[in-house]
């Protein structure tokens, strides 16, 4: 069964925002990755390398809040009001493919479902209604891909 989470994007201040949210809601960062952790980051500016590629805050009570910084240098200019996505965490690649295919009807696929360097099966799209979706299946820790 898919689990729905909120995914925010920031104009370079995701780390500051998430430290604030952590102070407000409590919880812990289960993931905090910077662009310097990403393969192929050669040529990125030092300030961009220190920006957040992905952060996950697990809030007590079962809520999860996730985010990243949009980098203009990577062709992703920050647009206020367009900085939220719905992220589906699923139980299998098959479920990811099924939901991605269903949501893709009339959609703009920005990243097809694919295996990633962070050991997940992941894809992104903007549906025909303009809603941004991310679909993620995390491989078990013992199953490196």
Instruction: Tell me the per-residue pLDDT of 5-44, one tens digit each, with 9 for 90 and over.
Output: 999 888 888 999 999 999 988 999 999 999 999 898 888 8
CA dihedral 14→121→84→102, nearest 10 degrees, is 180
Give the lowest-confidence range in 80-84, 103-107, 116-120. Answer: 80-84
For residue 78, how many C-alpha atoms fall within 13 Å in the half-sphere facing its CB?
12
Domain ranges of the chain: 3-138
- Say whether pLDDT at 127 is over 90: no
pLDDT of res. 57? 95
- CATH H-level, domain 3-138: superfamily: 2,3-Dihydroxybiphenyl 1,2-Dioxygenase, domain 1 (3.10.180.10)
Distances (CA, A) of 48 to 8, 69, 91: 18, 9, 33
- Output the DSSP codes for 60-94: TTTEEEEEEE--GGGT----TT--EEEEEE-SSHH
């Amino acid at each position: 069964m898919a689990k729905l989470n909120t995914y925010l994007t920031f104009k370079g201040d995701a780390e500051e925002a998430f430290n604030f949210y952590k102070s407000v809601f409590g919880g812990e960062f289960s993931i905090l990755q910077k662009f310097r952790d990403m393969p192929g980051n050669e040529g990125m500016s030092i300030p961009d390398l220190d920006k957040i590629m992905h952060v996950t805050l697990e809030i007590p009570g079962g809520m999860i809040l996730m985010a990243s910084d949009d980098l203009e240098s990577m062709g992703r200019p920050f647009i206020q009001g367009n900085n939220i996505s719905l992220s589906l965490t699923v139980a299998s690649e098959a479920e990811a493919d099924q939901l991605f295919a269903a949501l893709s009807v009339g959609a703009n696929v920005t990243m097809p479902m694919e295996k990633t360097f962070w050991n997940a099966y992941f894809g992104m799209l903007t549906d025909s209604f303009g809603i941004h979706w991310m679909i993620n299946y995390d491989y078990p820790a013992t199953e490196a891909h």
